[in-house]
Structure 1
């Protein structure tokens, strides 16, 4: 325990120390979680901020081997939400003081898509008198597109790397992907001035603790402002499903994700971190547990109900039947159970970005 206390007193870790922390069990694991919770409360307080999630479309040009809406999956019922529906649920978020929304879709690159998002951003800002913060997660684009969306009102961008090891990246992503392009997109987002976020999946087949330690160091080195990490949950309509026998039990993937959140909170005390919905796909109290050990962002799903079940990146996605109002009440209760409060009407910008 002396060694652990020594390590937990720092915020700069060697790779070997991170692997050691990822391996903790029992009382030592509890000590890690208590330390990360204390650091979060001391650094950014006990507020949890909402990003009302709008899943615009499950049409995707990419073919990631782990994703349920991959281009080659013919069993997906494809959809596009209308602009009117987007504005309607955005108004719900504004009226209910969510502070921010998050626009997410499959990866598409075209002049028509760029223009549509630009127009939507302008309308959302106009509808909310500029009061509604906007995060977007719309994949790899050229820098001019990122700039256009930034100028139209988006100020945060989430682009997950999913895995920072290039060899593993290409194992999960077929030939039309470029690891270097992904990195360049993250650099472009930072150059433009976005609050820039990335993240990884935890518990993928072939992934090791060594890889996860590198993921944490990657995010530290990239100096990102926000992070979304979640446990890998397999989908039977994907090529990666055939490796399910190589996976850790879901409960272990869940616990490993909690450790990743806790360790990154120690390494980057003032960033924003999402309590991913995938946590709840494994544990009914998954998001509350993530908040307790270091997360401070929740993404209540405000996508119109008729579309929600079709945006299924993984199986057992929770809350697909909840109305937006139900989701709001449920999440507020979850936040209070975790001993926190909701930052209603606040953007909840990353303090790390503010520096």
Structure 2
């Protein structure tokens, strides 16, 4: 006998079958789901939304992921690598404008020059902000030694998306070689958690070959792994990637958008006190996409403070929004969006994962 959405939402724990039913909900059932997730967010997280100033400082990448517009094999990308002075200027902007934290993100490299450069940048950002700026980094798979080095230099949150917790699907969206190993990705996540990072992961929603069962298992994976923060968004195809050949097999963009909102809502109910980002890709589909995510469960938003001249060259997917805005424009826009979503901005606050704090006390 099929349970109602209301019956499922009264349960303490969800099965894979329960989650699939929640993810397939529509109309009135979806409203019930979103009402519940909004209540959970308000009770356990409150109205605060935290800024993470995003600096996409380089699109140089050694990886060749089949979905990504800046993959090493794409010869039609204008490659760039912003000078340290520009990165530090952006960090100073974040500090002066009362951001609590920033995110350093780039294509993936692990050479010594890159590792040492990040170490120095972390120390300089801590210095220029009087140790007040929180730092998240999202720089891909690295050795445990490198993760430890960056942690010691001041980074305390790390986002490494699993992309899919289904190994078979993971292998379909990455080249089949040692540089794109599912086991390596899992090992890196475990190392980050062991070192003491607030550990974040995430998945793409609406991938070719992906099923509702895959997505349900992704959420169960995040709960079992005891993740602290999540960044997940709709898959948006890029014409310069191998996966583009499957574009006609994808669910339409609006369906991917709605499914992403339901993923956020279900995860908020399952993991009540983690940080969940409102992804930029949502806005690529719906002009109010990020506000809608904030209303139903997300509590992190990432204004782009990358120097405007290079934003158009960091295209992981097409139709990326805000590529022609300055940092001031983006900040003002984010403030307006948060107010529209009935949120309050946590100025000068790191906005650390409450879940992480509780996990550390165990």
Report the TM-score, using the length of structure 1 for normalisation: 0.99
Q: Match of 1:163?
A: 164
Q: Match of 2:121?
A: 120
Residue number among 220, 224, 228 corresponding to 1:225 in the alignment:
228
Question: What secondary structure does 2:232 align onto?
Answer: strand
Q: Match of 1:81?
A: 82
Is 1:247 the counterpart of 2:268? The answer is no
**Deviation for aligned residue 1:2:** 7.2
CA distance in 2, matches of 1:2, 1:72: 48
Q: Match of 1:13?
A: 14
Q: Match of 2:319?
A: 316
Q: Match of 2:262?
A: 259
CA distance in 2, matches of 1:274, 1:318: 16
Tell me, yes or no, if the aligned pair for 1:99 and 1:131 is still in contact at 8 Å.
Answer: yes
CA distance in 1, matches of 2:251, 2:6: 28
**Deviation for aligned residue 1:354:** 0.4
Spell out, residue by residue over 1:244-263, the C-alpha distance to the aligned partner (whole angstroms, 9 max, x if none).
Answer: 01100000000000000000
**Deviation for aligned residue 1:4:** 1.8
Q: Match of 2:299?
A: 296
Question: What secondary structure does 1:313 align onto?
Answer: coil
**Deviation for aligned residue 1:241:** 0.3
CA distance in 2, matches of 1:24, 1:83: 47
Tell me, yes or no, if the aligned pair for 1:104 and 1:138 is still in contact at 8 Å.
Answer: yes
Question: What secondary structure does 1:51 align onto?
Answer: strand
Is 1:198 the counterpart of 2:190? The answer is no
Tell me, yes or no, if the aligned pair for 1:61 and 1:70 is still in contact at 8 Å.
Answer: yes
Tell me, yes or no, if the aligned pair for 1:335 and 1:341 is still in contact at 8 Å.
Answer: yes
Spell out, residue by residue over 1:31-84, the C-alpha distance to the aligned partner (whole angstroms, 9 max, x if none).
Answer: 000100000000010110000000010000000000000000000000001000
Question: What secondary structure does 1:275 align onto?
Answer: coil
Spell out, residue by residue over 1:198-223, the C-alpha distance to the aligned partner (whole angstroms, 9 max, x if none).
Answer: 00000001101010001101111110
Correspondences of 1:267-278 after superposition (within 5 Å)? 267-278=270-281
CA distance in 2, matches of 1:48, 1:11: 26
**Deviation for aligned residue 1:3:** 2.5
RMSD: 0.9
Residue number among 340, 346, 353 corresponding to 1:343 in the alignment:
346
Q: Where does structure 1 differ by over 6 angstroms across 4 or more consecutive aligned residues?
A: none
**Deviation for aligned residue 1:330:** 0.6
**Deviation for aligned residue 1:11:** 3.8
Is 1:153 the counterpart of 2:154? The answer is yes
CA distance in 1, matches of 2:116, 2:106: 15
Residue number among 321, 328, 333 corresponding to 2:331 in the alignment:
328
CA distance in 2, matches of 1:52, 1:12: 35
CA distance in 1, matches of 2:7, 2:171: 37
Question: What secondary structure does 1:316 align onto?
Answer: coil
Question: What secondary structure does 1:55 align onto?
Answer: strand
Moved more, 5-14 or 82-91: 5-14
**Deviation for aligned residue 1:264:** 0.3
Spell out, residue by residue over 1:297-343, the C-alpha distance to the aligned partner (whole angstroms, 9 max, x if none).
Answer: 00000000111000000000000011100100011000000111110
Question: What secondary structure does 2:74 align onto?
Answer: coil
Tell me, yes or no, if the aligned pair for 1:300 and 1:328 is still in contact at 8 Å.
Answer: yes
Q: Match of 2:286?
A: 283
- For structure 2, which runs of at least 5 residues remain unmatched after alignment? none
Question: What secondary structure does 1:144 align onto?
Answer: helix
Tell me, yes or no, if the aligned pair for 1:11 and 1:268 is still in contact at 8 Å.
Answer: no
- For structure 1, which runs of at least 5 residues remain unmatched after alignment? none
Report the TM-score, using the length of structure 2 for normalisation: 0.97
